[in-house]
Amino acid sequence: MNVVDARCVPAIVMGQGATALGILRSLALAGIPAYVACPPDDLATRSRWFRPPPGAPWDGRPGPSAMAALRAMPLDRAVLIPGADDAALWLSELPSSDLGRRFAVSTATRGVQALLQDKAAFAAHLAATGIPHPRTFHLGSLSDVAAVPMEALQRVFIKPVNSQRFSDVVGVKGVWVQSRDEFRETWARLHAQGFSLMAQEYLPGPATEHVFIDGFRDGQGEYAGLFARQRVRMSPPDFGNSSCSRSIPLADVGEAVGHVRHLLDGLGYRGIFSAEFKRDPRDGVFRILEVNTRAWTYVEFAARRGVNVCEMAWRDALGQPVPAAVERYPVGKRCIDLYHDLASLGRTPGLGVAGRVRAAFEWARADLHVFRLDDPGPALHVLGGLVRKRLERMGPAQTVRSKSPRRS
């Protein structure tokens, strides 16, 4: 298949929310036709580029319903791009299925996907390879809880082996434990809910110590693109996501880049990735926290700076050459999730008027995460939701006032 023919092959995004929207916009930047399999009222459906996959309705969830939707889909060929962990894991087996000839995907093997997604297996692998990481302890029983040296660790929190399910059910990424009794009680409660758990030392330092190495490793083992960004602010402040990030030179985080290459080369990884590190201020070492094995929330930010990993995944899946991205992308550029950044600034003590003015100037010059003038639908959808919530909260009070007698 030549490049001209390949341009007719669409991509299908499996995901939802801001991540699916970012993938869709990245594909639009590259001129690649795309569909999004997502819930019917999802944020991505408000984009000017949104199209549902042809055929029967499909909400993008992996499993038997996805197989049925793909089998019935009136497409001769398409590339699937995941925007969630479960989708990435499911798609790793698609090439060996009866649908592998019609639906292509750039992916690592299921074993590699599972190792990077399973936090316990990931921690064990890091320990074996010598890649710096926070001290981590598997919690399979109360005896494991008792064996964690809390007194030797600065701060400790409990985290899940499976982040996606834990976040969906509990609503947070991790839970603080301040004492041995609280540790036992929290573990027992979460264990009873069916979660596999770990304890991890919380690395000290502000949000700005977090850096991300985003990129793509193709089927030949080449890194077609690498992009480094630093977290500026996050929300919530402990186990939250970036609300403001900025692009930084790869040379500034060469140690972290080296760790990513060592890890992924050793696993024979293929596909999109985003690795999160935190620089430990106690010794200056970059310690790896996790690796996303699919497109991440800020994927469009990298694409707009010249590192379009969604286009790379599409080309690699089709067996096309993957041209190397720009090595010297613009640095110091910011991307802001406006809704969560407002919350982050609201929790910042002593910010004052001057700090808020500086933030406003940042917003005016930054890439806004969902808000785009050339694709306003998603932003209007978010604003509409906020207004509805506000009116719902005001509803009872308004009703009481409306029933009070008027004064003449």
The mean pLDDT values, 10 residues at a time, for the chain of 408 residues are 61 97 98 97 97 96 96 97 97 96 97 95 95 95 94 91 80 89 94 93 94 97 98 86 94 98 98 98 96 96 97 97 92 92 76 77 88 94 85 64 42
| The predicted structure's pLDDT at residue 397 | 52
Residue closest to 305 by CA, chosen among 215, 220, 371, 370: 215
73 & 20 share domain = yes
177 & 149 share domain = yes
| The predicted structure's pLDDT at residue 7 | 62
248 & 361 share domain = yes
> Cα–chain-centroid distance for residue 184?
30
In a domain, 119, yes or no: no
Residue-number span of the structural domain to which 110 is assigned: 3-114
Say if CB 336 and CB 363 are below 8 A apart.
yes
| The predicted structure's pLDDT at residue 349 | 67
In a domain, 394, yes or no: no
218 & 352 share domain = yes
What's this model's pTM, rounded to 2 decimal places?
Answer: 0.90
197 & 65 share domain = no
Select from 54, 83, 114 the last residue of a domain.
114
Long-range CB contact pairs, 163-166, < 8 A, 24+: 163/85, 163/117, 163/119, 163/290, 164/84, 164/85, 164/86, 165/195, 166/195
187 & 213 share domain = no
376: Cβ contacts below 8 Å, ≥ 6 apart: none
Report the 10 Å Cβ neighbour count for 196: 17
| The predicted structure's pLDDT at residue 350 | 67
| The predicted structure's pLDDT at residue 70 | 97
Long-range CB contact pairs, 251-260, < 8 A, 24+: 252/228, 253/211, 253/213, 253/228, 253/277, 253/286, 255/285, 255/286, 256/211, 256/213, 256/228, 256/286, 256/288, 257/213, 257/226, 257/228, 259/131, 259/132, 259/286, 259/288, 260/213, 260/215, 260/288, 260/291
In a domain, 238, yes or no: yes
Say if CB 190 and CB 175 are below 8 A apart.
yes
Q: How many domains are contained in the chain?
A: 3
353 & 329 share domain = yes
- The answer for 377, left when phi > 0, alpha when psi is -120 to 50, beta otherwise, is alpha
In a domain, 130, yes or no: no
151 & 26 share domain = no
184 & 231 share domain = no
| CATH number of residue 25's parent domain | 3.40.50
In a domain, 393, yes or no: no
| The predicted structure's pLDDT at residue 401 | 47
Select from 47, 81, 114 the last residue of a domain.
114
| The predicted structure's pLDDT at residue 247 | 98
100 & 139 share domain = no
Say if CB 313 and CB 293 are below 8 A apart.
no
| The predicted structure's pLDDT at residue 73 | 97
